[in-house]
Structure formats: structure tokens, C-alpha cells
Amino acid sequence: MQQLNTQQQQALMSDYLQTGWKQEVMEFSSVQLESGYIKGLIDVKHFQMPGDGEFHFSAQSAMIWISQLGIIYGCWDNQLATKAGEVYLRDIDLKFKRTINKTEQVSFEGYFPKLCKKKLSDDLVYYKNAKIIVESGAFIGRASFMVPLK
């Protein structure tokens, strides 16, 4: 088995993972909620320019913002003004159908049907298989969240 040294590893890695991913700055520009649904628009404020000269919304960043959708929706749905504790993304299954290159108002939607919510105890609610749609189907899938109530 061959062992790669640091220089060999870096020559094969994406620049944004080596120097840029931790430098990303993104934020919700808008969040809208109703029973069973949340939509957040993300603005990318700062990012490391990839080698091809075009921004690509990464799978890693998408998972972070999907997790944030679950946190906000779970707290809102349970009338919590602030997070009671750590909300956990339990599982996620995403398909990345096409790239997302825009940096303003990237749409993240979560659909939480009534049957996906289960109260596990007085302190914990589970949301199973919420449907996730990012930027009109560029990324699609399902995610489950554990939301503490106390």
C-alpha cells in the first residue's frame, strides 16, 4: 500500500477544502414558515473561488443549511423562542442533480407533513423524512431531525 505525503495529498485535493471552505460566509436573507413548510433563502457573502472560476454551492454547505432549516422549523413548530438544546440532524439522503452557481437567494425548502412528527417524550420531538428541495430541485432528498423541547 502506498502512503501519500502531505504535498501529494494537497496536489489531489480541491482548493476550497484546503483553504476556502472554512472561510465561507452565508446567511439567511429570508425565512418563511407555515405549518408543515419552511423556505429559507441563502445569500453567499464570501467564498473561496474554485479553480474553474465559478462558485459551486457545495454538498457540505447544503447539509449545514438543511440542518438549520430543521432547527428553525422544529423550534417554531413547538413554539420555542430559542433553541432548548442541540438539534440533531439524524439522517440525510440527498441527490445532487445539478450544480448551483448563484450566490444570492439560493432557495432551501423543507416539507414536514403531520405524520413525520412524533413526540418521543416530554423533552424530545422527532421529525422523520422531511422532504428537502434546494434551488428548484438542483438538490433533493429527505432528512430527519431530533428537536429537544427543554
pLDDT at residue number 49: 74
At 26-58, the pLDDT tens digits run 999 999 999 999 999 999 998 877 777 888 898
The DSSP output letter for 49 is P
pLDDT at residue number 133: 98
Strongest mean pLDDT among 20-24, 46-50, 60-64, 105-109: 105-109
* 11: in domain: no
Q: The domain that contains 110 carries what CATH number?
A: 3.10.129.10
pLDDT band, residue 10 (cuts 50/70/90): confident
In angstroms, the CA 91 to CA 82 distance is: 23
**What value does the mean pLDDT of the chain take?**
91
CA angle 61, 62, 64 (to 5 degrees): 65
Half-sphere exposure of 59 (CA within 13 A, CB side): 9
* 4: in domain: no
* 134: in domain: yes
Q: Quick check: 17 pLDDT over 70? A: no
* 129: in domain: yes
Would you say the pTM of this structure is higher than 0.85? yes
Q: Quick check: 77 pLDDT over 80? A: yes
* 143: in domain: yes
CA angle 142, 115, 146 (to 5 degrees): 60
* 136: in domain: yes
* 115: in domain: yes
DSSP SS3 for 113: coil
Tally of structural domains, the chain: 1
Q: Quick check: 16 pLDDT over 70? A: no
User: Which residues form the domain of 49?
Assistant: 23-148
Q: Quick check: 144 pLDDT over 60? A: yes
Q: Is 106 exposed, middle or buried (0-12, 13-18, 19+ CB in 10 A)?
A: buried
* 12: in domain: no
